[in-house]
Structure 1
């Protein structure tokens, strides 16, 4: 019976440990939150600071850089979901991939930077799926194949 009482004491000790991690604000020396977002082959570096809602990507306005309305909408999703329109200035530099991958990378970076600046937004952005890195990338081409999986056309004669 002494063995069972010692097991019960061990169970009580583990119950006292904190259940959930505490998220704290992460800012640099200039009072900005920094995060890296990725999608396909694109990598975006994003800085978020309080401001008027100006979004700059590679030293251009975001509507000039991403001319298609769909890409502009993708960029705005985390800001709209967290209800922070016009409250933060966002500066991003993005390299690699195409425009669609770059828009996804910037969206991922904005979402992460917002959670670093305002940790209370984490639940809303996590529920919207903005904090998850979309890991789908183009499959590499194999030798003896026309593309990644497509074979060359078969000729009977």
Structure 2
């Protein structure tokens, strides 16, 4: 019976052709015209990034670095063409000092739209310092146009209060009034002294005319006397007294009975060789006698330098024009004084 069933199946398989040899199936949509087919979807092309550092993840930082390096290269090439580079060591040492005040790391991070690490901040400063040195070379050599172009790039990275920062360490010039008086302020510890210094006016000998004065020979304008100048006395010339220095409207020897305090006050005048050449009026407040005498000496030293600039080097070497920064050390908790300690007793 199985053989009877297998024979018809074999006959049917013989009549069936192979799949590869038969005509393939073609869907009806493919038989349509090519124009009627829907357009193929095209993959949009990627736009080219504006910056070559787009894929670094820190394009803002590296773009600024690249621009600074390009500016350095152009400036170096221009200075080399002008035969200003390479610069000898002695010429480089004679350049004016740098007057740049760069932004802080946090402030400069706003230019890069991200927080700068310390290493990246230092890298920026190295490039800026090199560019600033080229600007100083250009200004010193007289090529102001090149120097101004470099300075315009550096201004982006400088602080807005640059002038105020550079003026912190500079001493303000002493102002004189119409009578030639100088006003200075001295400080020491908690004491502050306001010092007015007036040069001593030597009397001038005027010849007595034998005839009546005329408008052409003598001036008939009244002479304005300084109201704070001391009255002439019968003392011989060259006599030095301590009454030429008044402290809080009292003579120096009365306000400071200690010889050490008086010696500290007149020391700037002795160093300058101007003892007795000025009348000094002082208003001092705060602190004790040691602090007040130091404040008065500081103010007198500044006033002497204003009147006689030639002695500035002498007084600066003697360290009397600079304020003494030493202060009283604070008392420590649980101890009697700043340095004194209680004796340890074993019980």
Q: Is the 8 A contact 2:180 2:198 kept in 1?
A: yes
What's 1:84 paired with?
Answer: 274
Residues 94-109 of structure 1 aligned to structure 2 (within 5 Å) = 94-109=284-299
Question: Taking structure 1 as reference, are residues 58 and 25 closer, same or farther at Cα in structure 2, changes over 3 Å only?
Answer: closer
C-alpha deviations, 1:57-116, integer Å up to 9, x for none?
110111111122222221111111111122111001112222122111111110011122
Tell me, which stretches of 5 or more residues in structure 1 are unaligned? Answer: none
Q: CA RMSD in A?
A: 2.8
How far the C-alpha of 1:47 sits from its partner, in A, is 0.7
Is residue 13 of structure 1 aligned with residue 102 of structure 2? no
Distance 2:181 2:253 in 1: 23
Of the three residues 242, 247, 256, the one matched with 1:66 is 256
Distance 1:15 1:146 in 2: 65
Distance 1:110 1:143 in 2: 38
Residues 45-64 of structure 1 aligned to structure 2 (within 5 Å) = 45-51=194-200, 54-64=244-254
How far the C-alpha of 1:34 sits from its partner, in A, is 1.0
Distance 1:15 1:43 in 2: 47
What's 2:12 paired with?
Answer: none
Question: Taking structure 1 as reference, are residues 101 and 24 closer, same or farther at Cα in structure 2, changes over 3 Å only?
Answer: closer
Q: Is the 8 A contact 1:81 1:125 kept in 2?
A: yes
Distance 1:27 1:147 in 2: 45
Of the three residues 165, 190, 197, the one matched with 1:41 is 190
Distance 1:156 1:141 in 2: 25
How far the C-alpha of 1:15 sits from its partner, in A, is 7.2
Higher relative contact order (CA 8 A, sep 6+): 1
Distance 2:181 2:337 in 1: 44
3-state SS, counterpart of residue 184 of structure 2: strand
Q: Is the 8 A contact 2:189 2:326 kept in 1?
A: yes
Q: Is the 8 A contact 2:272 2:314 kept in 1?
A: yes
Tell me, which stretches of 5 or more residues in structure 2 are unaligned? Answer: 1-72, 86-133, 143-169, 201-229, 231-239
3-state SS, counterpart of residue 316 of structure 2: helix
The structure with the larger Rg is: 2
Distance 1:36 1:78 in 2: 15
Normalised TM-score (structure 2): 0.39
Q: Is the 8 A contact 1:41 1:97 kept in 2?
A: yes
Of the three residues 325, 329, 334, the one matched with 1:139 is 329
Structure with the largest fraction of helix: 2
Residues 105-144 of structure 1 aligned to structure 2 (within 5 Å) = 105-144=295-334
